[in-house]
Each structure stands twice: as C-alpha cells, then as structure tokens.
Structure 1
Amino acid sequence: MIAPVRLLAAAGPAFALSSCAGPDVTPGDPWQARLDSLLEMEGARAPGAALAILRQGELVWSAAAGAAAFDAAGRAPERPLTPQTRVRTASISKLAVALTAGGMAEAGVIDLDAPAAPWLAFPFSHPAAPDATVSLRQLLSHTGGICDPARYWAELGEDFGAVFESAWCEHAPGGGFTYSNLAFGLAASVLEAASEERFDALARHYALEPIGLGGAGFNWSGVDKAERLEGGALHRWIDGAWRVQIDSPAMLSGDGPVVLIQPGHALEDYEPGANGSLFSPQGGLRANVIELALLAQAFAPGGPGEALSQPVWRGDGGPGIRAWGTGPQILEQGQIPGRPDLSAVGHPGQAWGFFGGAWHIPELDASIAYFVTGEDPDEPKPYDPVSGLTPGETALLVLALDWLDAHDGR
C-alpha cells in the first residue's frame, strides 16, 4: 500500500516521500511510522529504507519507506521503494559467494581447504611466504594474506593476475585477518576454473535458487527484465539533490549482466576462471530486503550455510570484528547494541551510498535484513567499536529486535 509521509527536515532534501509496507501493516501502524522517521535521522539521512524479519524461516514483517528512483533533478520521487525492490547489496553479497563455495564443496566439485593456486591461470604465492598455500576457506574468511589495492577488480580484457602485484599483506596466509574484497574475486576465479562455468551461473545454481532467491542475481544476471526495470538506484546527497551512484535508469533498462569490458572484447568469449571479479562477487548481488533475510536464514542451524558459520578466526580486526566464519561475520553475545543476550551471524554492507545488513539471530530463531539506499557523505557515520555498526544501521537493527519483542518473537 502507498501512503504519504511528511517532508524531510529542512536541512535535507525537501520533497514528499512515500512508504510501502509489507504484510501485516495497516495505515497508522507505529512500526511503519518508526521506519519512516529513520529517513530523517540526524547523521543517517537517506532517500529510502527497507526492513524484513523472518521468524522460524517464515516472513512475519516487511516494510519500506522512501523512494527507489527520483527525477533527473534528484529531488522529486518517481517510484516508491518497496520490500520487493532489488538493489545492489554491497558486501552482504559475500554470503552468497560463501554459499556457492559451500554448495560446490558439498557436491564434490571443490575442496575448501585445498590450495587455490593450482586453479589459477597466473602465478599466485605470497612474496614473504612463497611456500605457504592459500585455500578457499582462507579467502572467504579474510585470512589469506591478501590486502585490497586501490583497484581490486579487472575489466574483461585485462590481466586479473596483474592486480595482485600490490595486493599482499605483511602477514602470511593464515597469519592474521585483513578484510579483503579482492579475495572474493579470487575465490570466484577458483570456483569458475574448477567448474568451467561463469560465477553468475554458479551462484544461481548452488546458492540463490536452492534458498528461494531465484529472482536475484549478480550484476543483474538472470533477473527478469520487468523486475530489473523496477530496481532501485543507490544515491548520495550532493549539491542539494540525491545523485545516482549506481543502477541508473539506463543501467536498469539494459539487457544482460552489467560487467566492465574493454573495447574489442565480448562477454560471450570469456573463459571461466580468467577473471572472477567480473560479476562483482564482493558486492554485486541485486536482491530485495526479503531475499536478504532469506540469505541470512541460510546460515541458521540446519541451513545450507550452517557449517560455514563456524569461526575460522577470532581476534581484534577493528570495530565490531571479533570472529569470522567461512564467509559470514559472527557477532558474539555482548556485541549487539542493547541486547547482550543475543548473537548474530551474517554480514554488513556499505558501498555507493548503501548501508545495510543481513543477520540470523539464533537465540530468537529469527533472521533480519535491513538497508538504506543512500547517504549524505558529509554526515559523520562513526562505527560503534563493539558492534561495528553505524548509528543508522543500529537504529534499523534495534527496530527489528523491538518488533520481535513486541510480537513475542513470532
């Protein structure tokens, strides 16, 4: 349903927004009003927000507020954001990469703990520890000794191996934790080489379709054209307007996957394994907020990602980073704001104005996903030293937990 909400504060974009709620929401619903109000939260201004909650694997609440698209001036909303609107989900995408690897390991296609180098088309060894091997599990848990260079991807037609010339951490593989986007491009290369299939197809077969995300896709690969047209852009508030950062109308109206290709090359000629970064495994999954909650649910006990949720590393990796599994981050009891009795497994994501997260809360048998679709880059967004979440992310997570408390966790 579509209902008007009030204008944003004068300090921000001054235009009328709309909200679109999911099941179990009625006009005047205080939970929807609370979500609407987060668009005006000081320090977390956003053009749109969405939230979904699963309880025992079933959707119990979903809602959205704000706009998915604006006019060319970046001020007048043209389409509302809904719980069904797919957006680029930043590093939450890494959960789908982990599920893909786990599914392929379960099928006997790949060994998560075997050396990755034999699958690669370029030399791959840590210069400070040339005899140390790097496994898929280490890549997915950020313990492979790979650091992100300024550019951690390659276009089709470039040498992906050249990216690694400045990508090695000081610590050897297995000798520490360093969050790495590049490691996921490398992991995708290994998965492609082992199967002789492109990563977008592998993710669909081994991860997305088995958990009910058949409509989602990496870099829009496989997403229905009509649903792609209804996708949401990501924005930043620049010079008094919401400026599109990614997934512009031209990109949403396109055909086929969105990949970076140099002149003289074509995706049809791509050899799987040559460049796993093409489909942005580190952050390119397009999914809606309900699908993200289902993705988190996959890491619940009994889910296909349960084994991947076991800690591979523990330590102090920065704000909120205390433990990591084979893909998912682990928030231990005492890390979730205001709820020291709860833990979570999942992943946050921040890129192109997107801030969000997808988490399974085992103590509640609940899975929660939330995101905003833009930011004001001039507003400070400090990361909480314990949870690692920004104030806006914290407000969305607390809203979901409060909803569960008010509904007796149903």
Structure 2
Amino acid sequence: MSLLKLISSVKKVKTRVLFVSFNEEGMSLEKIVYLPGKSSVRFPSSPRLIKEVTEKNFRNSRKFKICLKLVFFPFPYKIVVSLSRSHCQSRCSLLGYKRESPKKSLTIEEINSFLLQNLWKLIETQKKELVRKKEFEEIDVLLVDNTVCGIKIDKKLVPQNLQDLSGFSGKIFKINIAQTFVQRLIFADFIKTIPKRAKLTAFAEEGVNLATALYLKRFFEGKKYEEDAPFLIFALKERETEVFVFNGQCVHSYDRFRFGFRNLYQTFNNLLGVDLTVFEGIIKVLETDQVSLKTKKYFLEVINKELKNFYNGIISLRKNCRISNFYVDGGKLDGFLRKYDKIAPLLIIREDLFLPFKEPLEKVWLIIWQ
C-alpha cells in the first residue's frame, strides 16, 4: 500500500481497538487499527506494560487513566479486556435439535423459538456453576457477552444476517453461543475509568477464546470427523500450563499444571547463572540456528530434559480425561518448540484460525485475542 493511499484510508478507518490484559508483571495494552478494503489491513503495535497494575487495583492507576485519554486521540475507539479465570468465565456452547419437518426451509421464527426455549436455561445453568465454583454471590455476577457465533443446518452454514433462508432445509439444526460472565465490581470499575470516546466492547476469559477459535474453525470448515470431535489445548504460560477443552458440547477452561516458561529459565539460571534477558536471547538464537553444533547440542540436552516433563504432563492429563485429540500453544517458546519433534506437529498456528471468519472482523478479534 502506497503512503498516499495509506494516508487517505485513515479517514475510512473502520475500527480502532485497545486490548487490555493482565499478567504477573502488570497490565498490558496493545493497539490495533483496522483499515477496511479488499485486502484487510491490520496495524498492531508493540504491547505497552504498566507494571504492578492488577485486576484489583487498575481503577487507581494514574498511568492507565492517562493512556486511556491519549490513545487514538482524538478518535473514538473500542476496548477489549482479557481477565483471569478468577474474575471471569467464557464459554462457547453448542446447542441443537432434530427438526420434525426437515424438508421445510428454516425460518427466523423457528430460530427465535428455539432460542427462547433454551437460551435462558443455558444462561442460568452457567451462572449457577460460576457462582458455585468461584464462591461468588449470584448478584455479583454479570453476563456481558451473549453472542451467536455460527448457525448450521446439516452441513450448510446459515448466513449470520438471517436473510433469505429459502433453501436452508435439513434435519439437524446447530447453533453456537459464546457467553462471558464477569464480576460486577470489575465491570463497574472499567465503566467508571474509561473516557467518553472509548466503548467497552467485550470481556473474555484469558485463554478460552483460543480454544473457541479452533473449535469454530472446525465448525465452519465442516469436516465431520473433526467438527464434533472433543479436543484439548495446552497453553504454555509464564509459570504454568493452562488446559482448555471442547467436550463435544462446550468449550471451557479445564485444568492446569505446573510447567511454564520460567521452569526452563530457572534451569538455565541454576546451571549458568544467566538472567531472564540472556535466557530469552539464547532461545531466539536456538530458533534461528545461529550457533555452533557443539553449543547447540549442549543447550538442547538441557532444554529437552525440561520439555520431557512438559510432554509427560500433557500425556498424563490427556489419558485422565480420555480425549485423544490435543494441541499446544507454545507461547514464548513457540518458535523453539517447532524444532522439538514430539511437540511441533501439535502446535497451533494462530494465523490459520482467521481463515473461516470472513466477517465481521471484530468478532474474530474477540475470539482469537489473547
């Protein structure tokens, strides 16, 4: 894209989004600008870290408030927030039924009737489960997202705008609904903190949206042997591995075990006394093979011992829940793990998860974002 076209397209910007997430160091802010057109253009920025800002104290952070006032100034923008499972629960549920008259075309009235009978029942079930698991009071839980992500009748995808449903007949009706519950206090704190030109678009439980994106990709592609098959995702984080599951009916967080990026770092620190920055540099060098064979062999022996523990943790948990299909999100080790024979074939390629989603792009962001 030429500079002149880029400048002229700024006036046509469809969406500006600020992604807010939390980690052990603090709050992370990342900007993305989307320019519409035949070839969608995305401009992500490098994440900015505001140290020691947490889900509990962000409302009192002066730096965060200044960032909100300055970002994208003077244009309006949207905010998407990723929260830990301690404060948020996201799920994508598959609902469906066998139609009594499969030769009749699907109608909006039929879809609405099904939702009226089943949607509130689903909401109440998930809300009660959240209250029980997190030990919240029911009044403290707020439903902030209740979105239809895809409708299918037999193998045919139903248009999301539900226009011109003639020809959409069949026996099996399926619908996916993404729901997110958040602690009311956190929601209220964000509303009070953001400026007027910002719109709080969505909340999501950290990690669940990646599993949702993988499930919906399979749903939209319509490969029968994959579409309904349960699977696990093992997401490698700083100090632990989080596990997410699609059990055939619902995508949700499942478990975790103690292996993370810092396990490898600690091993190198004990062995060589290197700090975290040097260790990250070693990993990057190993990814690009810019090191002698002797040095590479030494480092790989050390790393592979730790990765064996990681792989054994995966196999053990997979056997316990009796699900054969599983995938790995490598996080900071993604590039290196692509060279590790046992794990490389299981790694998720995030870019591929965008393919089934032609529109709306905003929904893709909500699903894929971490």
Q: Which of structures 1 and 2 has the larger relative contact order (alpha carbons within 8 angstroms, sep 6+)? A: 1
Q: Which has the larger radius of gyration?
A: 2
- Give 1 or 2: higher strand fraction: 2
Name whichever structure is richer in helix by fraction. 2
TM-score higher than 0.5: no
